[in-house]
Amino acid sequence: MSSSPTDPRFVIEGATEEQQAAVDELVKQFLLTDSQLEAITKEFRRRMEEGLVADGKVLKMIPSYVTKRPKGTETGSYYAIDLGGTNLRLIRATLDGKGGVKTEHQKFTLTEEAKARTLFDFIAQCVETFLDDRNLRPTGQQPPISMGFTFSYPVQQTSINSGILVQWTKGLNVPGCVGRDVVRLLQDALLRLGLRVKISALVNDTVGTLLSSAYANPSSQMGIIFGTGTNAAYYEDVSNVAKWKGPNPASGEMVLNMEWGAFDSDDFAFLPFTPHDIKLDRKSINPRKQAYEKMISGMYLGEIARNIILWLADQRLLFDGRSSDILNAMWSIDTSYLSAAIIDESPTLSEIQQVIEKTMGVPRSTLVDRRILRAIAHLVGERAARLSSIGVVATLLKRPELLSKPIHIGIDGSMYEHFPNFECILAKTVSRFIPEHQFKNISFSLAKDGSGVGAAIIAMLMATED
Ligand code: ADP
Ligand code: MG
């Protein structure tokens, strides 16, 4: 993607000089040069190394206790509970023995009450509904059903099926959980409902995404989420993990959950913070945390755009200086509206007009307003995709020996799946930092709902001897 100031996406036809000058200022803040990215990547790599040596660093590099890989030939049905930032999914995954998986799943939206208070009881009730609706609930005579539990929040894993919550992220804030074993909390809630379900694996969503990708494609080395939040996991040689004090696995490798969303949170020194990012951070429920995630993921991009919109409106450079109650409210702009704005190629930008006048509650918009809105969506999205490449490049260059043969990356999350050009800008940016003869070995693909399927696959690996 071009980063030149004359990029046609950022030359607003019909704009006043002041409007264009404001857009030019945004372009300067949001379009990152390759050399900026290179410097940030170098720091990212340093932070990875630091996290491999000791606990409590910015990149936590958490051992997942997953040391095996599926072969792709395994068969049977396995279960998982997938708690994301927005939804809860109950999954029954049936493996066909040829790398293919059929899934049956049921989606529940987290209620505000669940997010603030009753989370584990809510999950247990969803498990009950899922099993009862399908007549799968084990009776007293039957063995309990084992389930993998995908939990996409930072956990200090203490075994394959236990882990202490380090902190909440992505809008969840249930009291009394930080510092406790989340499997115990869920197992107790299941017990309260008398459900014969055993949580056999606690899985980060990135680890799940990697494992589901590995079932379909044995050369998978990395799993990434670009959804409500962002994070990644990869297979690391255990001899590179100085802080690992447990037994050496037979395979010699273990999946590490990087918790990369936290990158640069300690000193805010490397990422390209703009006043719009700082404003978001200050008002978020986790200020000065998850700095990288806040520039990349679905939960935040709409809010960054909202801050930019208000900055322009307050200078009377947008909407004739008008705002609305909706626009004035934090988090009122969903990132999916940015996708919609980029896709709109109609002559009057009628889709964007709808968003402005219906969704944002601003009564009137000019064509120039809509063009500016579209430019904002491009800027915020492109910066996210380019920054995303940093983590990918740093991780791939960490084990360059793997780049001499095919290497696959499984990616899940609505940003990757739906944000226009995200995938293309990401791949193109990665290609600028990895030599061509190695880049050609790299493939990316959508591991749709991989986080849950992977947890079911890990539950399978736990039940299977070597
Ligand atoms: P989770 O992270 O909970 O597993 P998803 O991967 O579905 O869930 O991501 C949800 C996030 O993606 C939300 O923050 C939402 O705003 C954002 N999102 C949903 N649809 C789109 C879209 N079409 N374009 C960009 N972002 C989207
Ligand atoms: Mg998810």
Q: What is the CATH number of the domain that holds 99?
A: 3.30.420.40
Looking at the domain assignment, is residue 156 inside a domain? Answer: yes
Looking at the domain assignment, is residue 144 inside a domain? Answer: yes
The helix (run of H) or strand (run of E) holding residue 423 is helix 422-431
What would the pLDDT profile of 194-225 be if each residue is shown by its tens digit? Answer: 999 999 999 999 999 999 999 999 999 999 99
Instruction: State how far the Cα of 29 lies from the Cα of 120, in Å rounded to an integer.
Output: 42
Check 152, 200, 213, 414 and give the catalytic one.
Answer: 152
Kindly state if the Cβ of 334 falls inside 6 Å of ligand 1: yes
Kindly state if the Cβ of 156 falls inside 6 Å of ligand 1: no
Averaged pLDDT of the chain: 95
Check 45, 47, 69, 89 and give the catalytic one.
Answer: 89
Orientation angle between helical segments 367-398 and 34-53, nearest 10 degrees: 50
Kindly state if the Cβ of 87 falls inside 6 Å of ligand 1: yes
Q: How far apart are the CA of 32 and the centre of ligand 2, in A?
A: 28
Q: Is 89 a catalytic residue?
A: yes
CA atoms within 13 A on the CB side of 458: 35
3-state secondary structure of 87: strand
Q: Among the atoms of ligand 1, which is closest to the Cα of residue 85?
A: 3
3-state secondary structure of 93: strand
What would the pLDDT profile of 258-309 be if each residue is shown by its tens digit? Answer: 999 999 999 899 999 999 999 999 999 899 999 999 999 999 999 999 999 9
Instruction: State how far the Cα of 2 lies from the Cα of 9, in Å rounded to an integer.
Output: 10
Nearest CA to ligand 1 atom 22: 336
Kindly state if the Cβ of 339 falls inside 6 Å of ligand 1: yes
Record the tokens describing residue 185, joined without a space. Answer: 């909390």
pLDDT of residue 465: 61
Kindly state if the Cβ of 36 falls inside 6 Å of ligand 1: no
Q: Of 59, 64, 57, 114, which Cα lies nearest the Cα of 84?
A: 114
Kindly state if the Cβ of 220 falls inside 6 Å of ligand 1: no
Q: Is 152 a catalytic residue?
A: yes
pLDDT of residue 170: 81
Share of the chain above pLDDT 70, in %: 98
Q: What is the DSSP string of 297-325?
A: SHHHHHHHHHHHHHHHHHTTSSGGG---H
pLDDT of residue 313: 98
Looking at the domain assignment, is residue 152 inside a domain? Answer: yes
Task: State how far the alpha carbon of 47 is from the alpha carbons of 64, 96, 458, in Å.
Answer: 19, 40, 28
pLDDT of residue 1: 47
Q: Which residues contact 316 (CB under 8 A, 6 or more apart)?
A: none
Instruction: State how far the Cα of 383 lies from the Cα of 425, in Å rounded to an integer.
Output: 10
Whether the predicted pLDDT of 5 surpasses 80: no
Task: State how far the alpha carbon of 93 is from the alpha carbons of 69, 245, 293, 455, in Å.
Answer: 17, 34, 29, 10
pLDDT band at 2 (very low <50, low <70, confident <90, very high): very low
Whether the predicted pLDDT of 35 surpasses 80: yes
What would the pLDDT profile of 38-96 be if each residue is shown by its tens digit? Answer: 999 999 999 999 999 999 999 999 999 999 999 999 999 999 999 987 889 999 999 99
Looking at the domain assignment, is residue 209 inside a domain? Answer: yes
Q: Can you give the residue range of the structural domain that contains 156?
A: 64-216+451-463
Looking at the domain assignment, is residue 455 inside a domain? Answer: yes
Q: Of 187, 206, 207, 205, which Cα lies nearest the Cα of 197?
A: 187
Helical ranges in 330-410 per DSSP H: 335-343, 350-354, 367-398
Nearest CA to ligand 1 atom 25: 336
Kindly state if the Cβ of 415 falls inside 6 Å of ligand 1: yes
Instruction: State how far the Cα of 35 lies from the Cα of 465, in Å rounded to an integer.
Output: 48
Q: What is the DSSP string of 153-202?
A: S-EEEEETTEEEE----TT---TT-TTSBHHHHHHHHHHHTT--EEEEEE
Looking at the domain assignment, is residue 122 inside a domain? Answer: yes
Q: How far apart are the CA of 102 and the centre of ligand 1, in A?
A: 23
Whether the predicted pLDDT of 236 surpasses 70: yes
Looking at the domain assignment, is residue 140 inside a domain? Answer: yes
Instruction: Name residue 430's amino acid.
Output: V
- Ramachandran assignment for 336, one of left (phi > 0), alpha (psi -120 to 50 degrees), beta (any other): alpha
What would the pLDDT profile of 322-341 be if each residue is shown by its tens digit? Answer: 999 999 999 999 999 999 99
Average pLDDT score over residue span 91-102 = 96
Share of the chain above pLDDT 90, in %: 93
Q: Is 389 a catalytic residue?
A: no
Record the tokens describing residue 265, joined without a space. Answer: 């949170």
Domain count, the chain: 1
Average pLDDT score over residue span 164-172 = 89
Whether the predicted pLDDT of 466 surpasses 80: no
3-state secondary structure 108-156: EECCHHHHHHHHHHHHHHHHHHHHHHCCCCCCCCCCCEEEEEEECCCEE
Q: Of 254, 384, 369, which Cα lies nearest the Cα of 13?
A: 369
**What is the pairing mode between strands 101-109 and 145-151?**
unpaired
Q: How far apart are the CA of 139 and the centre of ligand 2, in A?
A: 31
Q: Which residues face 155 on adjacent strands?
A: 165
pLDDT of residue 4: 56
Q: How far apart are the CA of 197 and the centre of ligand 1, in A?
A: 30
Looking at the domain assignment, is residue 78 inside a domain? Answer: yes
Q: How far apart are the CA of 348 and the centre of ligand 1, in A?
A: 27
Burial of residue 298 (number of CB atoms within 10 Å: 0-12, 13-18, 19+): buried
